[in-house]
Structure 1
Amino acid sequence: MELGKCQEILSLRKREHSMEILVVGGTKYFGIPMVQKLIEQGHKITLATRQTTQDCFGGHVKRVKIERTNPASLKNAFSGRTFDVVIDKLGYCSNDIKYMMEAVRSEKYIHMSSTAVYQPKVIDTREELFDGYHKELVWCNRSDFPYDEIKRQAECALWQEYRDRKRIAVRYPFVTSKDDYTKRLLFYIEHAIKGMPMHIDNLDSRMSLIHAKEAGEFLAYLVDKDFEGAINGCSDNTVSIREILDYVETKTGKKSIISSSGEAAPYNGEPDHSINTDKAKKLGYLFSNLNDWLWDLVDYCIDITSMNVR
Structure 2
Amino acid sequence: MKILVVGGTRFFGIPMVNALINAGHDVTVATRGNNALSFCGSVRHIVMDRTDTESVKRAVGDVSFDVVIDKVAYSSNDVRALLPNIKCDRYIQMSTCSVYAEDTLLIGEKEFDAAAHPLVWADRTQDYGESKRQAERAAYEFMDAEKCVFVRYPIVLGENDYTGRLRFYVEHIMNELPMFVDDLDYGISFIHEKEAGEFIAFLAGADVCGPINGCSKGIVKISELIGYIEKKTGKAAVYSKDGDVAPYNGLENDMSLDTQKARALGFEFSELGDWIYELMDYEIDMVERCV
Q: The TM-score by the shorter chain falls in which range?
A: over 0.9
* Contact 2:146–2:209, Cα closer than 8 Å, also in 1: no
What does residue 189 of structure 1 align with? 170
Rg larger in structure: 1
Residue-by-residue CA offset, 1:78-122 (whole Å, 9 max, x unaligned): 221110000000111111111111110111000000001010221
- SS of alignment partner, residue 51 of structure 2: coil
* Contact 1:67–1:74, Cα closer than 8 Å, also in 2: yes
Q: How does 1:209-288 map to 2 (within 5 A)?
A: 209-271=190-252, 272-288=254-270
Distance 1:54 1:226 in 2: 32
What does residue 155 of structure 2 align with? 174
Residue-by-residue CA offset, 1:20-70 (whole Å, 9 max, x unaligned): 000001111111001101110001011100111111237621111101211
1:35 and 1:50, CA in 2 relative to 1: closer, same or farther beyond 3 A?
same
Cα offset for 1:156?
A: 1.3
Whether 1:103 and 2:85 are equivalent positions in the alignment is yes
- Picking from 185, 188, 193, the partner of 1:207 is 188
* Contact 1:115–1:121, Cα closer than 8 Å, also in 2: no
Amino acid at match of 1:28: R
Whether 1:142 and 2:151 are equivalent positions in the alignment is no
Residue-by-residue CA offset, 1:266-295 (whole Å, 9 max, x unaligned): 111123211111110000000110100000
1:247 and 1:59, CA in 2 relative to 1: closer, same or farther beyond 3 A?
closer
- SS of alignment partner, residue 224 of structure 1: coil
* Contact 1:133–1:160, Cα closer than 8 Å, also in 2: no
Q: Give the ranges of 4+ consecutive aligned residues of structure 1 lying more than 3 Å apart after TM superposition.
A: none
What does residue 10 of structure 1 align with? none
The TM-score normalised by the length of structure 1 is 0.91
Distance 2:122 2:20 in 1: 32
* Contact 1:107–1:165, Cα closer than 8 Å, also in 2: no
Q: How does 1:151-166 map to 2 (within 5 A)?
A: 151-159=132-140, 161-163=142-144, 166=147
What does residue 283 of structure 2 align with? 301
Aligned length: 290
Amino acid at match of 1:283: L
The TM-score normalised by the length of structure 2 is 0.96
Distance 2:141 2:78 in 1: 14
- SS of alignment partner, residue 140 of structure 2: helix
Structure 1 gaps, min length 5: 1-18
Residue-by-residue CA offset, 1:2-21 (whole Å, 9 max, x unaligned): xxxxxxxxxxxxxxxxx000
Residue-by-residue CA offset, 1:183-218 (whole Å, 9 max, x unaligned): 000101110111001101131111010000001000
- Picking from 56, 70, 77, the partner of 2:52 is 70
1:286 and 1:192, CA in 2 relative to 1: closer, same or farther beyond 3 A?
same
Amino acid at match of 1:296: E
Amino acid at match of 2:190: L
* Contact 2:21–2:41, Cα closer than 8 Å, also in 1: no
Distance 2:29 2:259 in 1: 29
Amino acid at match of 1:176: L
Distance 2:27 2:17 in 1: 8
- SS of alignment partner, residue 133 of structure 1: helix
1:288 and 1:46, CA in 2 relative to 1: closer, same or farther beyond 3 A?
same
* Contact 1:171–1:231, Cα closer than 8 Å, also in 2: yes
Whether 1:49 and 2:31 are equivalent positions in the alignment is yes
* Contact 1:109–1:165, Cα closer than 8 Å, also in 2: no
1:164 and 1:292, CA in 2 relative to 1: closer, same or farther beyond 3 A?
closer
Please report the RMSD computed on the Cα atoms of aligned residues, expressed in angstroms.
Answer: 1.3
1:58 and 1:217, CA in 2 relative to 1: closer, same or farther beyond 3 A?
closer
Cα offset for 1:265?
A: 0.7
Structure 2 gaps, min length 5: none
Distance 1:208 1:158 in 2: 27
* Contact 2:75–2:124, Cα closer than 8 Å, also in 1: yes
